Amino acid sequence: DSLISLLNVSKDYNGSEAIKDITLHIKRNEFLTMLGPSGCGKTTTLRIIGGFEHPSEGQILFEGIDIDSLPPYKRRVNTVFQKYALFPHMNVYENIAFGLKIKKLEKKVIDRKVGLMLELVALAGYERRAVNSLSGGQQQRVAIARALINEPDVLLLDEPLGALDLQLRKEMQLELKAMQKRLGITFVYITHDQEEALTMSDTVVVMNRGRIQQIGEPEAIYNEP
């Protein structure tokens, strides 16, 4: 009953293996974190789950169905990167509404959904602000709202707090975790910060040199020497 399964997934780039024989089952509503040093294969794994990258070997299933046979709109996955990648010429409202406008929803419906998202990320009242007038933490909140407004089943987050200072990072860790539980969305979260992984996750996957070294609940990972 996994939402996402990776079965013996490997990826090599010109003969060098970025990830090797990864088997991983991710449940619905799980907050799963991939932890490990730079270059261990976290981003590659995330990109493969997101369908941005094709594995060299192995299979990825969504609710038991091979993603190769699923059209992109059925994958219901969105992504948040470390660099917020907002549209700089659009204000907060327009950035968040973008994914609904291209679906041609009614303006009234869009307004209501954007309003709910702004409350969720604690930015009510910021609709008309230019995104580059916001702090890093606020910009990342806009990016998260934009990724969540289409109500994906899965949110992939690649070091989303990596560009923020320590204080803000701590606050946003707790916010993100609360948000994830409230919305019931599966989060696959990358970090190289052990404390962050242990604070936020239901499950921690420790990666090393392209392989899974350890997997378990934070307590179990923490108590390992």
Note the residues at the interface with ligand ADP (CB under 6 A).
13, 18, 36, 38-44, 159
Instruction: Name which of 129 and 192 has its Cβ closer to ligand ADP.
Output: 192
Q: Tell me the two tokens of residue 44.
A: 């590659």
CA neighbours within 13 Å on the CB side: how many for 143?
26
Supply the minimum distance, in Å, between the C-beta of residue 134 and ligand ADP.
23
Contact assessment for residue 177 and residue 183, using Cβ atoms and an 8 Å cutoff: no
Instruction: Name which of 56 and 59 has its Cβ closer to ligand ADP.
Output: 56
Q: Indicate left, alpha or beta for 142 from its phi (over 0: left) and psi (-120 to 50: alpha).
A: alpha
Q: Tell me the two tokens of residue 47.
A: 């990109």
Supply the minimum distance, in Å, between the C-beta of residue 167 and ligand ADP.
22
Supply the minimum distance, in Å, between the C-beta of residue 143 and ligand ADP.
16
In the block, tokens 């709910």 appear at 116
Whole-number Å distance between alpha carbons of 187 and 202: 10
In the block, tokens 């968040």 appear at 96
Supply the minimum distance, in Å, between the C-beta of residue 44 and ligand ADP.
3
Instruction: Name which of 81 and 126 has its Cβ closer to ligand ADP.
Output: 81
